[in-house]
Amino acid sequence: MSAAVSDLKAFEPGVFITLHDVMTGVRKLARVSENGTAYIDLDADDCTPLPIYATLDPVEAGNILGWGLYLVDREPQHSIAFKELCEKLINSGEGVICYNRAAYWAFTNKNFNFEQAMAAAKDQTAKVAKGRAVMDDMIKKAGSAV
């Protein structure tokens, strides 16, 4: 790998970033892991953190609290709807990454409908899971006779 391809980007642990998913071609929301140079993109105990390569065009997206505060300060007409949505998302039984995908979708689209936000989050999560399954299969087959 060339130095440019292998360059890692660092972010504050726990913050959410958006980046390109090379397995699916979608832009996804992921949470930065404890070391700051890797990310988790699925709510699963066995989800291996992946490196945050600069070539994936990672951009800090913030977090649910920051999105809410932004709306309070800059778009107060949306702040109550976002707060109510976030309460439903947090209590939805979905994992942290999934419900944050829903909150981020709502925040970026200014659409605070629970069903629509959750549908968008579940769609992205399903695509990420499918890409992870393909990658896991490739890794399992690595080195084996074809």
| 45: three-class secondary structure by DSSP | coil
Whole-number Å distance between alpha carbons of 116 and 112: 8
Other beta carbons within 10 angstroms of residue 66's beta carbon come to 14
Q: What is the pTM of this model?
A: 0.91
Domain ranges of the chain: 1-146
Q: How far is CA 80 from CA 65, 73, 86, 113, 117, in A?
A: 13, 12, 10, 12, 16
On the question of pLDDT at 119 being above 60, the answer is: yes
CA 134 to mean position of chain CA atoms: 18
Whole-number Å distance between alpha carbons of 128 and 144: 25
Q: Is the sign of the CA dihedral 90, 94, 97, 101 positive or negative? A: negative
- Residue 37 confidence (pLDDT): 98
Q: Identify the band that residue 140 occupies on the pLDDT scale cut at 50, 70 and 90.
A: confident
On the question of pLDDT at 76 being above 70, the answer is: yes
Q: What is the pLDDT of residues 31-41, one digit of tens each?
A: 999 999 999 99
Contacts of 114 (CB under 8 A, 6+ apart): 85, 88, 89, 102
Contacts of 109 (CB under 8 A, 6+ apart): none
